[in-house]
Amino acid sequence: MIREIVQVGDPVLRKKCANVTRFDQELCALLDDMKETLLAAEGAGLAAPQVGVSVRAVIVNADEGFFELINPVFVWQKGEQKGPEGCLSIRGKAGQVVRPSKVKVVFQDRKGDRYSLVARDFLARAVCHEIDHLDGILYTDKATEIRSEV
């Protein structure tokens, strides 16, 4: 089911999200809906608070594959890259954001099993952007050269 994407100004986007503690049917439904919503919106990533659910779950769709990261935590961050970002919760805008060029995160999957992911370049940027959402941070807090897209 496609869910409504919350837009900037909604307080849910500014809350620190709670850890996922139950790996149940409700979580599966949330993740399935997030994927459907992301694909329909043709975005690169989506965090649970963007559909109004304040829990630590994000999805990322990149060349390397489709990732569901539950309770993601950075192990390390290396390097620096500057590049363009937008956000499905901030329609019609884009900006330049400095991010690490390479990150390692540990996370759980929808069953609660633990994995790690090393991401670089665009995937690293997307992972950082989405994890920021879990702490109530929007890319516009960090961006320079924010402009309206036509």
Q: What are the residue numbers of the active site?
A: 130
Rounded least distance, CB 87 to Co ion, Å = 3
Nearest residue (CB) to Co ion, 7 versus 21: 7
**Which of the ranges 5-13, 15-23, 69-77, 87-95 carries the binding residues for Co ion, by CB under 5 A?**
87-95
β-strand partners of 62: 65
Give the separation between CA 52 and CA 73, rounded to whole angstroms. Answer: 21
Residues 6+ apart with CB under 8 A from 62: 44, 122, 123, 126
Rounded least distance, CB 44 to Co ion, Å = 9
Nearest residue (CB) to Co ion, 27 versus 38: 38
87 makes contact with Co ion (CB under 5 A): yes
Residue 62 corresponds to which tokens in the numbers above? 């990149």
Report the interface residues with Co ion, using CB under 5 A.
Answer: 87
